[in-house]
Chains A and B, each alone.
With several copies, the nearest count.
Chain A
Amino acid sequence: MGNTNEMSMEFDSRSCNEGFARVAVAAFITQLNPTLEEVSDVKTAVSEAITNAIIHAYDKEVKKIRIDCKVVEHEMYVTVTDYGKGIENVEKAMEPFFTTKPEEDRSGMGFAFMEAFMDEVVVISELGKGCAVHMKKKVGVGTSPFM
């Protein structure tokens, strides 16, 4: 496991931290020489997961959101974790256009975008305990990491 690099961060679930968290993850993966498109894909997916934690998990109360990010060869792994109310039916939640907050103009496309822009998305949640969104993507193929 020589060629791995890890970071994790924890921050207040304030909407003003959404941009910061996207930028931090994007900056961390620059070591893989990602294309602009790949950076946008990762930023969008991370943004969706963080927004869900702020809006759905914590109902806008200020608690903590955690991001774990790992790079192995050309693979990047990112997990967004909250300790909020959890999801009762993950399969249903992940259906495109399904949302429990239509009155707040949520589109129900959050999980759909994560799936569209990442190679793999796995959601683990327990009611009352929180939610962890694990995502994976191959990035910057054709260049060598850790330069």
Chain B
Amino acid sequence: MDYRIQEDYLYVFLPTELDHHSTESIRRECDELLYDNEILHIVFDFGETSFMDSSGIGVLMGRYRMISKLGGDVTAIHVNDRVYKILNLAGLHKVMEISQEKIWNKRM
């Protein structure tokens, strides 16, 4: 997986297929980075992601729970229509900002 840290932001560049298989390493690596750095904002970049199931919801919810205890937040960006529908179905739009816009350059 690709990660990038900039001040108190952690950018997570998600894979093409976000399923139980790929979330196993994302959860582990993400939590190590959160533990080792002073992060307050997690940005999940869905720019490459075409498939997602409820395992993806679990990762986002899990990270949201951790970071919101510290007063931080989670954002999902570059979300395609399909992923948008799934995030909404799970109610994630109530706890995090979800952006479909392609305004930020990929890989910043």
Contacts and interface: CB of A to CB of B under 8 A. Distances in A.
In the complex, is A directly touching B at CB under 8 Å?
Answer: yes
Interface string A38-54: 00100110011001001
Contacts of A48: 53-54
A55 B53 CA distance: 14
Contacts of A109: 54, 57, 89-90
A107 B21 CA distance: 15
Contacts of A55: 20
Nearest to B24: A15
A16 B82 contact: no
Contact of A51 (B55, B59, B86): B55
Given A40-B82, A48-B54, A113-B54, A105 B61 contact: yes
Query: Which of A104, A107, A110 lies at the interface centre, i.e. has the most chain B CB atoms within 10 A of its CB?
Result: A107
Given A105-B58, A105-B61, A51 B51 contact: no
B53 A44 contact: yes
Interface string B66-93: 0000000000000000100010011000
Report whether over half of chain A's contact residues are helix, strand or loop; otherwise say mixed. Answer: helix
Given A40-B51, A113-B89, A116-B89, A105 B27 contact: yes
Query: Which of B19, B52, B53 lies at the interface centre, i.e. has the most chain A CB atoms within 10 A of its CB?
Result: B53
Contacts of B86: 44, 113
Given A105-B59, A107-B57, A19 B21 contact: yes
Given A16-B21, A106-B54, 15 more contacts: A18-B19, A43-B51, A44-B86, A47-B19, A48-B53, A105-B23, A105-B27, A105-B59, A107-B54, A107-B57, A109-B57, A109-B90, A110-B53, A110-B54, A113-B53
